[in-house]
Structure 1
Amino acid sequence: MTNGTQVTADRPRPEGAEVLWMHATSTERAAALAEIALRCKAQRPDLFALLTLAGDVAPPAQVRRTGIDRMERLTAEAGTARQFLADWAPDICLWAGLPLLPTLLHKAAATGMPMILVDVTREETATLRGVWRGSPRGALGLFDPIFAPGTADAEALRRILRHPDRVEVTAPLAAGVTPPACLDSDFDKVSRQLAGRPLWLTAWTEPSEFETIVAAQRAIVRLSHRLLLVAHVAQPETADAMIETITAAGLRAAAWQPGAAIEDNMQALVCDYEEDLGLWYRAAPVTFVAGSLTTRRGGHCPLAAAALGSAVLHGPNVRNHAASYARLDRVGAALTVRGAEDLAAAVIRLSAPDQAAAMALAGWTIATEGAALSDRIVDIVQARLDARA
């Protein structure tokens, strides 16, 4: 039933610890569940959080910073349901999205563990066939409650359930936004140095995107010579290569050092630590969330940038966080760009404060909309575990 490949969290389970088993059918759902686990563990420090992933779901980057103790793949082909349950003996199941694994879920329900299903869309519901006990459709009845991210999604579920009253309409499941920290003193110092100078940020920039980013900045400074690029690289060891790419294009660049002066003639700063993003998301009115022009990476979560007031630009390859990008795009809080020319034009347009501010406000609304659902899930998990104690 499980496959231990690509495990990025593997802490030993303490003797007698309660086990919160969560299953995600997408990277974005996995990221949201990982943060819910962290909040549950804040209330139950001894709770062991097991996150399983469906099929070829990519592990979320956030998992290394959250309360997940063990992460592994879960498939119907490898091993047995009985072995999985014997190995982990979960105390509660929190399943996000479809598909379901009926054999495993029926055996899990037979142990008496509470089972909660969240974020099931009408498109996923439409894929269900059959009503017999071993079918995915039949396994829906094992969950209580069932949360749907909209009225139409809830109605699709109610039409096929024996107990339609178990279905509730909620916001979509989304990773809670815990933006990287930033000292007020650091932000104030950078703001004084910039003295109103415009800037834009690229976050999580991949080496394959360096040339595109630099070409965009060359085009930008022709029209707005003071517009500063702050380039955060996804791999710290590639920072020197980014600086070389910038200088080879005839632009002036330097490595960002906290506390160092930002020279007025500098056209690009390169930073290589994730912690730097806490400062630059706040300082930059526009952020290009990279890893999205390359097909290999699949994009990074845009919600931290949106929550901190930055308008979001991104490439077309955002499969790892497609739902978040779709929500931002739908309300005009994000914009897709496909190359250097698109990127330069978008940055120039959004350098007008009113343009970026409107996008940022819409983005902040989307970034915080899932908070109430996360609160509700954490409360239910705590109550159900209390009832089993």
Structure 2
Amino acid sequence: MAVSPLLSAYLFWSNRAHRFGERKLQARLAEGKEDAARLDERRGIASLERPPGQVIWLHAASVGESVSVLEMLRRMGEERPDVTFLITSGTVTSGEVLASRLPDGALHQYVPLDVRPWMRRFLDHWDPDLIVLAEGEIWPALLHEAKLRGKPVAMINARMTDATYRRWRRFGRGAARKLLGYIDHVQAQEEQTAQRLRHLGLPETRLEVTGTLKEGSKALPHDEAERVRFASALGGRPCWLAASTHEGEEAGAAEAHAQARRSWQKLALVIAPRHPGRGDEIVSSLRLDGWKVAQRSLGETLTAETDIYVADTVGEMGLWYRLCAVSFMGGSLVPVGGHNPFEPAALGSAILHGPEVYNFQDIFERLSAAGAARQVSDWADLGATLARVLEPDEAARMAHAAWEVCSDGTDVTERATDLLFAMLDGVD
């Protein structure tokens, strides 16, 4: 099978990359980014037996991608209980979230690094009947080995950022065209991604624009007893959420909180950091600034005196979105690119965000056009806008508009399900 010179060079390197892979794993382990008990999975050594029958392998890199495919997996499992769904991810947080939320008939493993011997070992063990990549990761060794084995490959919920597109252009359009040729069908989230894939050489006959699975996903789960307990603790106080915040955004949210409290004196703020491991440093910094703070991971309770509640736990976003009438989407006033706004939209929370939402640009534009979301320019603007949006009629109007936009996309999951079953049934 002929390959481009650049792709050949990558595959040659990947075939001998054990030492690089080991160094990377050990560095990530030291940083707390790997599960020590399951590190062999990252080397392609399975910790579970392959069940009999057909196996669909679906790779979803991190938490957002993993959660977005759960509703699709649930529906597919109900329709085809004879099929096993193997879902892989590459982050500890995603593994923790999936551990409690996988539907029946689904298994989780950490994905091996794109080192050819490790990828071969993984594919030899699991022998998947269909390989599905969620969002936009294009792994040369994985795709090449899948092609050698004659495995069909689909990419669903595909999204290619400008940075990724430029990286693949530098890698070489010949190499990109060859790799994309190994993918049998792509369902893109939006036209911009589709256009970038066309430019890189994906044939039009293998491409369709369907929207995002996150739009048609089931609402995030929650513990109703905890919601009732927190609502009682709030005692009618208004509450807003700074969701999936990054470094620097917690201090900014506190600044906006102070401004909004001039109009809403009893206002409470819940901060849910994108990386819960930062909880201790966030709490320490806020307390140094004079805020009365309670911390979720330490079991501290929210009281009438609590100014800010730091929700530094995994898998509870459904609880905070239900409690808070207004949600600010983190990663949008720092150059991160924003996070999934359909999660609060599906749960009746009005949405505020900064200008840095390029990862979900089209979705935020739709929400803004519907009156469901508002963009702010800085932390002072967030505080002023928050004070206005907290008015019950305004928050309710925005929340309803968000829910309507969210509910329009329920057919996205059905289209992905139909594609994958058609590809599976085409396997000899």
Q: TM-score if structure 2 supplies the norm length?
A: 0.64
Partner of 1:65: 97
**Distance in 1 of aligned mates of 2:290 and 2:161:** 50
* Cα displacement string for residues 64-93 of structure 1 (whole angstroms, at most 9, x for unaligned residues): 322462233664x75597666445432112
Q: Does 1:108 align with 2:167?
A: no
Q: Which has the higher helix share?
A: 2
**Distance in 1 of aligned mates of 2:311 and 2:75:** 30
Among residues 68, 77, 91, which one is paired with 1:32 in the alignment?
68
Residue pair 1:289, 1:300 contacting (<8 A) in 2 also = yes
Among residues 386, 390, 399, which one is paired with 1:351 in the alignment?
390
Partner of 1:180: 221
Among residues 257, 261, 284, which one is paired with 1:221 in the alignment?
261
Among residues 201, 205, 224, which one is paired with 2:241 in the alignment?
201
Cα distance, 1:245 vs structure 2: 4.8
Cα distance, 1:15 vs structure 2: 3.7
2:241 partner letter = L
**Distance in 1 of aligned mates of 2:317 and 2:122:** 39
Residue pair 1:7, 1:70 contacting (<8 A) in 2 also = no
Cα distance, 1:27 vs structure 2: 7.8
Q: What is the DSSP-based 3-state SS (H/G/I as helix, E as strand, rest coil) of the residue aligned with 1:202?
A: strand
Partner of 1:327: 363
Cα distance, 1:327 vs structure 2: 1.0
Partner of 2:88: 51
* Cα displacement string for residues 225-252 of structure 1 (whole angstroms, at most 9, x for unaligned residues): 1322233456667667655655554555
Residue pair 1:177, 1:304 contacting (<8 A) in 2 also = no
Residue pair 1:51, 1:71 contacting (<8 A) in 2 also = yes
Q: What percent identity do the matched residue pairs reach?
A: 29
Assess, with a 3 A threshold, how the Cα gap between structure 1 residues 39 and 325 changes in structure 2: closer, same or farther: farther
Q: Does 1:147 align with 2:187?
A: yes
Q: Does 1:22 align with 2:22?
A: no
Cα distance, 1:144 vs structure 2: 4.7
1:180 partner letter = P
**Distance in 1 of aligned mates of 2:287 and 2:92:** 34
Cα distance, 1:211 vs structure 2: 2.9
**Distance in 2 of aligned mates of 1:135 and 1:355:** 51
**Distance in 1 of aligned mates of 2:288 and 2:34:** 40
Partner of 2:323: 283
**Distance in 2 of aligned mates of 1:273 and 1:304:** 17
1:47 partner letter = T
**Distance in 2 of aligned mates of 1:16 and 1:95:** 21
Cα distance, 1:94 vs structure 2: 1.6
1:65 partner letter = V
Q: What is the DSSP-based 3-state SS (H/G/I as helix, E as strand, rest coil) of the residue aligned with 1:90?
A: coil
**Distance in 2 of aligned mates of 1:226 and 1:29:** 36
2:398 partner letter = M
**Distance in 1 of aligned mates of 2:195 and 2:316:** 45
Cα distance, 1:266 vs structure 2: 4.9
Flag structure 1 segments of 5+ consecutive residues without an equivalent.
54-58
Cα distance, 1:14 vs structure 2: 1.1
Give RMSD over aligned pairs: 4.9
**Distance in 1 of aligned mates of 2:210 and 2:349:** 26
Partner of 1:56: none
Cα distance, 1:308 vs structure 2: 0.8
Among residues 13, 36, 39, which one is paired with 2:48 in the alignment?
13
Assess, with a 3 A threshold, how the Cα gap between structure 1 residues 273 and 142 changes in structure 2: closer, same or farther: closer
Residue pair 2:57, 2:87 contacting (<8 A) in 1 also = yes
Q: What is the DSSP-based 3-state SS (H/G/I as helix, E as strand, rest coil) of the residue aligned with 1:225?
A: coil
1:360 partner letter = A
Partner of 2:7: none
Assess, with a 3 A threshold, how the Cα gap between structure 1 residues 44 and 268 changes in structure 2: closer, same or farther: same
Cα distance, 1:383 vs structure 2: 5.5
**Distance in 1 of aligned mates of 2:134 and 2:354:** 27
Residue pair 2:239, 2:268 contacting (<8 A) in 1 also = yes
Q: Does 1:94 align with 2:132?
A: yes
**Distance in 2 of aligned mates of 1:241 and 1:60:** 20
Q: What is the DSSP-based 3-state SS (H/G/I as helix, E as strand, rest coil) of the residue aligned with 2:86?
A: strand
Aligned residues: 372
Cα distance, 1:282 vs structure 2: 1.4
**Distance in 2 of aligned mates of 1:289 and 1:83:** 40
Residue pair 1:99, 1:136 contacting (<8 A) in 2 also = no
**Distance in 2 of aligned mates of 1:162 and 1:233:** 40
Residue pair 2:330, 2:353 contacting (<8 A) in 1 also = yes
Cα distance, 1:146 vs structure 2: 3.9
* Cα displacement string for residues 260-314 of structure 1 (whole angstroms, at most 9, x for unaligned residues): 7843x6544444444654333112111123355566x776544322211112334
Residue pair 2:56, 2:84 contacting (<8 A) in 1 also = yes
Assess, with a 3 A threshold, how the Cα gap between structure 1 residues 86 and 341 changes in structure 2: closer, same or farther: same
Flag structure 2 segments of 5+ consecutive residues without an equivalent.
1-13, 26-32
**Distance in 2 of aligned mates of 1:52 and 1:193:** 37
